[in-house]
């Protein structure tokens, strides 16, 4: 699995968890101190995610970081 595939797998896992919880991208962005467009870029695998952002996203989704990394 290359880097682009890993980014997409992580983004997909974040999106699935967010949707399961009934959260919009805007709401998740507010919860983690980010922007809706940045959440969209993460979910579509267009950008990498730093450990600090990933930790905040996991906390907001009531998940562990390892639960969001399917590889």
Give the Cβ contact number of residue 71 at 10 Å.
8
Q: What is the dihedral of CA 4, 56, 69, 14, to 10 degrees?
A: -70
- For 34-66, write each residue's pLDDT tens digit: 999 999 999 999 999 999 999 999 999 999 999
pTM of the model as a whole: 0.94
pLDDT of 22: 97
CATH architecture type of domain 3-62? Orthogonal Bundle (1.10)
Per-residue pLDDT at 70 exceeds 90 = no
Per-domain residue ranges of the chain: 3-62
- For 2-21, write each residue's pLDDT tens digit: 999 999 999 999 999 999 99
């Amino acid at each position: 699995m290359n880097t682009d595939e890993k980014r997409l797998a992580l983004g997909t896992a974040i999106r699935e968890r967010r949707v399961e919880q009934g959260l919009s991208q805007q709401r998740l962005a507010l919860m983690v101190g980010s922007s809706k467009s940045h959440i969209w870029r993460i979910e579509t695998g267009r950008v990498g995610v730093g450990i600090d952002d990933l930790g905040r996203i996991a906390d907001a989704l009531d998940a562990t970081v390892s639960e969001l990394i399917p590889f």
